[in-house]
Amino acid sequence: DPKVIERVEANEMPGNKIGLLNVHHRVKLLYGEGLHIRRLEPGTEIAFYIPNQRTPVASQATLLL
């Protein structure tokens, strides 16, 4: 549904449908980019990219601990 894609990109999901938004935020926090969502006919493609690194990526959340 194109509306779901728009809501994920705008960070606006209803409280009972937060799974996809949660994954988007976690991938973004860990790797700097979130999910890439593309509408297909029929279906939807969801992709994310993980950098080829052997050391963990430090995030602001881990630096504040």
CA 29 centroid distance within chain: 9
Domain positions in the chain are 2-63
For residue 45, list its beta bridge partners: 38
The DSSP 8-state label assigned to residue 15 in this structure reads: T
**28 to each of 35, 42, 49, how far by Cα in Å?**
8, 27, 10
First to last CA, the chain: 39
pLDDT at residue 63 is higher than 50: no
Q: Which residue in 16, 64, 32 sits closest to 24, CA to CA?
A: 32
pLDDT recorded at residue 65: 37
**Whole-structure pTM value:** 0.62
Encode pLDDT of 6-55 as tens digits. Answer: 888 888 877 777 888 888 889 888 888 888 888 888 888 888 888 776 66
